[in-house]
Amino acid sequence: MTDHEPVPAVRETAGAIATMEIRGAATIADAAARALAAQAREGDHDDPGAFRASMRSAARTLHETRPTAVSLPNALRYVLQRMEGETVDALRRNVVSATDAFVDQLDRAQEDLGQVGANRLADGDTVMTHCHSTDALACIEAAVEQGKSISAVVKETRPRNQGHITAEQLREAGVSVTLIVDSAARRYLDDVDHVVVGADSIAADGGVINKIGTSGLAVNARERGVPIMTAAQTIKLHPETLTGHTVEIEMRAEEEVIDPGTRAAIGEIDVENPAFDVTPPRYMDAIVTEHGQFPPESIVTLMRELFGEGADEPWAEP
Ligand code: RUB
């Protein structure tokens, strides 16, 4: 292993995030923070400078995996900003305890926002979901724990069908589940009381970046008069959008959309596979966080409180 090469645990986590074995914004953040702790524990460095450089290099490896979920850089930032100490031992201790604190906060934030989201749901409600979001599920599960009977219409969410994970987890939680194809969503909106989705990033203007198809669902929900909420803990707030940056939308392989044989049989066509889209704030009723619920347009206030005026990049080479 060269001086700054990440330890195997970091390379494995980065690989698993890139191939979506580890997926979903909160789960990615959790795995990335734990990988930094592994780097701190298992990296073999005897001077503080080399230790710091190896942590930055590990963070860059993790950062390069997927571009859209801001929970990933926010997790790396949280841990690296607490990398303090004059000796390798002290640095190591501080990184490991920052990771523990971060992971604890993630769990607590999800539990807290689950309560807020659950309060929006009433006994007997039917919700519609898109993709698989642990934050959105936390709201529905908390409602069930409050003793409410909840049903769900679950969109399968092409091309990777994360709706299947949602269907299974909701069924295990005691929710009665109806699975539909994405294009059936508008037809079923008349039967649902709420749409509940997650977020990969939330922009300073209240725009919600989530799995492709969220924006169309939100527009249809508004047209049918069905309230739609985003469940998103505050690590989904994108600090760089405070200074005018936009959120990069990941483009994924065309093989996720169509198999090569079918594509060849069709002939000369282009295939595009954007993984996420942006729902303008006017189509979203509420952003539910661990600090309570916010109208999307006011989320910038919370963002400034938590991140100041922007974000640094502690993984960059000095
Ligand atoms: C997952 C997705 C989820 C958000 C929120 O996309 O869009 O809605 O990440 O998830 P992918 P969570 O499957 O491409 O990672 O609430 O678990 O953070």
Ligand 1 centroid from CA 38, angstroms: 24
What pLDDT is recorded for position 278?
A: 98
Give the position of tokens 């725009």: 207
Token pair recorded at residue 98: 């920052």
In angstroms, the CA 295 to CA 74 distance is 22
Q: pLDDT band at 4, cuts 50/70/90?
A: confident
Q: What pTM did the predictor assign?
A: 0.97
In angstroms, the CA 85 to CA 100 distance is 17
What tens digit of pLDDT does each residue of 127-147 get?
Answer: 999 999 999 999 999 999 999
Pocket probe mutation, ligand 1, options 211, 212, 234, 256, max atoms within 8 Å of Cβ:
211
Count the Cβ atoms, other than its own, within 10 Å of residue 204. 19
> Which residues approach ligand 1 with their CB closer than 6 A?
23-27, 69, 131, 133-136, 162, 198-200, 210-211, 275
pLDDT above 70 covers what percent of the chain?
99
What tens digit of pLDDT does each residue of 265-298 get?
Answer: 999 999 999 999 999 999 999 999 999 999 999 9
According to DSSP, the residues that pair with 274 across neighbouring strands are 251
In angstroms, the CA 240 to CA 86 distance is 30
Check whether 1 has a pLDDT greater than 50: no
In angstroms, the CA 197 to CA 211 distance is 9
In angstroms, the CA 114 to CA 229 distance is 12
What pLDDT is recorded for position 3?
A: 58
**DSSP-assigned letter for residue 1:** -
Active site residue 131: yes
Check whether 178 has a pLDDT greater than 60: yes
- Which residue, judged by its Cα, is nearest atom 11 of ligand 1? 24
Pocket probe mutation, ligand 1, options 74, 210, 234, 257, max atoms within 8 Å of Cβ:
210
- Which residue, judged by its Cα, is nearest atom 6 of ligand 1? 24
